[in-house]
Amino acid sequence: MSMALDAGLIPYGVDVAAAGGTAAGADTALVLRPAHYQNLLDTKIREIICKPRDF
């Protein structure tokens, strides 16, 4: 998300949804407020929507 923020594709200071996974499909989704790459550790995770189960 930091790269998208730095490229101007998403607005600064707004929560966004992000999904990730593997070739088998998305298995994790978050709501987060990204920070610019130079301040990457300022990224805030607002909500974990879903995550893979540990077996």
Return the number of other C-beta atoms located less than 10 Å from residue 34's C-beta.
23
Terminal Cα distance for the chain, rounded: 29
In a domain, 6, yes or no: yes
Tell me what pLDDT residue 14 has.
95
Tell me whether residue 55 is in a domain: no
Per-residue model confidence (pLDDT) at position 45 = 96
Q: Which residue has the tokens 């790269």?
A: 3
Expressed as residue numbers, the domain containing 36 is 2-50
Q: Provide the number of structural domains found in the chain.
A: 1
pTM: predicted TM-score of the whole model, two decimal places = 0.73
- pLDDT band at residue 10, thresholds of 50, 70 and 90? very high
pLDDT digit string, tens, across residues 17-43: 999 988 888 889 999 999 999 999 999
7 belongs to a structural domain: yes
Nearest CA to 28 out of 54, 55, 2 is that of: 54
pLDDT at 23: 82
Average pLDDT taken over every residue of the chain:
90
